[in-house]
Structure 1
Amino acid sequence: MEHLTILYRGPLASCDYDCPYCPFAKRRDTPEQLRADRAALERFTAWVAGRSHDVSVLFTPWGEGLVRSWYRRALVELSRLSHVRRVAIQTNLSHRLDWTAEADLSRLALWATYHPGQVAYERFLGKCRELSARGVRYSVGVVGLPEQLPDARRLRADLPPETYLWVNAAEGHTYTDAEAARWMELDPLFGHSRRPHASRGLPCRTGESVISVDGAGTVRRCHFVPAVLGNLYDDSFRAALRPRPCPLATCDCHIGYVHLEPLGLYDVFAGGILERVPAGPPGQLSWPGW
């Protein structure tokens, strides 16, 4: 095995935001649940540290990870490992950012989401500007709800031109061509998110070079296919790694469909698959299906 990409999602579910459109389950984690999440993350970090092959990791917690010290520490520690190509996390940027000074910024990246109504605009923009000043690699995105379009336009105008602003189609929302065009003015790749991709039978890298891992080490091909391939910690998953088609009718989440081979998104996001940073400048992006 030359390189393995891992999407890690431990038991953490508590979040400091309460977005009405968020599809993730929310709870207030008890101290016992937080201790269990910390132990699971530390076990996973130790496993990655012991590998002899290249690894990339994207943390996709149900809640907000970076308000927890163990997630910040894991990102710093993993970024310092020579065999870790990239370590990234999805985050709302509500936390302080001084910890990034301890990380290897050639390997660290953040996938940030702006949630109007949950944070003051200037505070969020200030966090983005701090990331830029610190030299941290990041992308920024919004959910494509009509009421959020003015905020998204303002954010696009205020962000550095080289920062990619992505737009996720709102779950259960359909877009007319005119509505989609307005979002594509901000994110030329919005067409990939606009509708679920018909995926059944298509070749996908998940289950071969990309896996999903939970806090117990259970390995699945991705977050959206429940079939178990084995366990990370007893190495039983390795025998199940092979090329395989997608078994689902559709795939509608970026962390899933980015790995569908016919879409060609590994070329679009070359070097930035996990943090959703395209290889080319935002102003030069285009979606061939539009």
Structure 2
Amino acid sequence: MDLTILYRGPLASCDYDCPYCPFAKRRDSHAQLAADRAALERFAAWAAEQRDDRLSLLFTPWGEGLVRSWYRRTLAELSRLPHIRRVAIQTNLSCRTNWLDEADPDTLALWCTFHPGQTPYDRFLAKCHDLAARGVRHSVGVVGLPEHLEHARRLRAGLPAHVYLWVNAAEGHTYTDAEADRWTALDPLFPYSRHPHRSAGLPCRTGESVISVDGEGTVRRCHFVRSELGNLYDGSYRRALRPRPCPLAVCDCHIGYVHLETLPLYDVFAGGVLERIPAAPPAVRRSIPTPR
């Protein structure tokens, strides 16, 4: 079985405090961190045992995972297993990069976000160049707030030419066509992020070949649909895997709508769906039709 899993454990603490971040903000206690570590290690042990499956794993913590040693170690170890096709994580790239010496760069990938005001530009850019020198697959992006535009332009100019710079539409922000054009000049795929995608009743790979798992092993079709499909560790989820339409009115997050079968994004990101790396440099498109 080819299975993509989005894992999100209980970790919610982050070393940044971005005012626009929709994720939880808190300081995890020692007990909470221990629980997150135990949950991650349980998941990693399960993944390591699934040698009859071909797994692609994306870690999407509410907080920053790579400042925690157990995330760095887990990603490095999983990347070296032959049945793991890809292991990736969303990160602010604030951690050191020497842990990547232990990882397989053909399997591991990073989805990196630059947060202006939270880290010096030169420090972040240096780490991006370090990733490129190591041959680590990575994308880099920003949240498309007006005050981030010049930072994004500077970042695009400073990154290696082959590194994809993505732009996420800011939550709750409405873009004029002129504003959208400025962001599209940096990220030709920005039109996919600009508006939520109508998804009700449309076919989606989630719940069939893509699932979401939390720290307790509860399996859902994706992070945004709360109904449960079973549990990862007792295998009950497998009986529930099948094609199913989306039950939500719209999908407005990349890690959700990328799996909609009505969008061409599996072709656009072929080989790099989890780490958000296009198969080829994207061409500029002024408008993206919304599925109806």
TM value normalised by structure 2 = 0.97
Query: How far, CA to CA, are the matches of 1:129 and 1:287 in structure 2?
Result: 30
Query: How far, CA to CA, are the matches of 2:287 and 2:270 in structure 1?
Result: 17
State how 1:182-221 maps to structure 2 within 5 Å. Answer: 182-221=182-221
Q: In structure 2, what is the equivalent of residue 139 of structure 1? A: 139
Q: Structure 2: where are the runs of 5+ without partners?
A: none
Query: How far, CA to CA, are the matches of 1:111 and 1:251 in structure 2?
Result: 20
Q: Does the aligned pair in 1 maintain the 2:219–2:231 contact within 8 Å?
A: yes
Pair 1:20-2:19 in alignment: yes
Identical-pair percentage:
75
3-state DSSP class of the match of 1:157? helix
Task: Map Cα deviations across residues 164-199 of structure 1 (whole Å, 9 max, x no partner).
Answer: 000000000000110000000000000000010011
Query: How far, CA to CA, are the matches of 1:221 and 1:18 in structure 2?
Result: 29
3-state DSSP class of the match of 1:82? coil
| One-letter identity of the residue aligned with 1:232 | L
| One-letter identity of the residue aligned with 2:115 | H
Pair 1:33-2:35 in alignment: no
Q: What is the CA distance between 1:264 and its match in structure 2? A: 1.1
3-state DSSP class of the match of 2:270? coil
Query: How far, CA to CA, are the matches of 1:114 and 1:5 in structure 2?
Result: 26
**Residues 287 and 8 of structure 1: CA distance in aligned 2, closer, same or farther (over 3 Å):** farther
State how 1:102-113 maps to structure 2 within 5 Å. Answer: 102-113=102-113
Task: Map Cα deviations across residues 142-182 of structure 1 (whole Å, 9 max, x no partner).
Answer: 00000000000000011111100000000000001100000
State how 1:34-53 maps to structure 2 within 5 Å. Answer: 34-51=33-50, 52-53=52-53
Q: Does the aligned pair in 1 maintain the 2:181–2:286 contact within 8 Å?
A: no
Query: How far, CA to CA, are the matches of 2:264 and 2:145 in structure 1?
Result: 27
State how 1:85-100 maps to structure 2 within 5 Å. Answer: 85-100=85-100
Q: Does the aligned pair in 2 maintain the 1:189–1:287 contact within 8 Å?
A: no
Q: What is the CA distance between 1:285 and its match in structure 2? A: 5.6
Q: Does the aligned pair in 1 maintain the 2:203–2:262 contact within 8 Å?
A: yes
State how 1:135-174 maps to structure 2 within 5 Å. Answer: 135-174=135-174
CA RMSD in angstroms comes to 1.0
| Count of residue pairs the alignment pairs up | 288
Q: Does the aligned pair in 1 maintain the 2:184–2:284 contact within 8 Å?
A: no
Q: What is the CA distance between 1:97 and its match in structure 2? A: 0.3
Q: What is the CA distance between 1:101 and its match in structure 2? A: 1.1
Query: How far, CA to CA, are the matches of 2:284 and 2:192 in structure 1?
Result: 12
| One-letter identity of the residue aligned with 1:170 | A
Query: How far, CA to CA, are the matches of 1:33 and 1:288 in structure 2?
Result: 44
Q: In structure 2, what is the equivalent of residue 280 of structure 1? A: 280
Task: Map Cα deviations across residues 111-162 of structure 1 (whole Å, 9 max, x no partner).
Answer: 0000000000001001101101111100000000000000000000111111
Query: How far, CA to CA, are the matches of 1:161 and 1:288 in structure 2?
Result: 24
| One-letter identity of the residue aligned with 1:27 | R
Q: What is the CA distance between 1:38 and its match in structure 2? A: 0.3
Q: Does the aligned pair in 2 maintain the 1:8–1:59 contact within 8 Å?
A: yes
Q: Structure 1: where are the runs of 5+ without partners?
A: none
Query: How far, CA to CA, are the matches of 2:147 and 2:34 in structure 1?
Result: 38
3-state DSSP class of the match of 1:227? strand
Q: Does the aligned pair in 2 maintain the 1:8–1:60 contact within 8 Å?
A: yes
Q: What is the CA distance between 1:281 and its match in structure 2? A: 2.3
3-state DSSP class of the match of 1:237? helix
Query: How far, CA to CA, are the matches of 1:112 and 1:289 in structure 2?
Result: 25
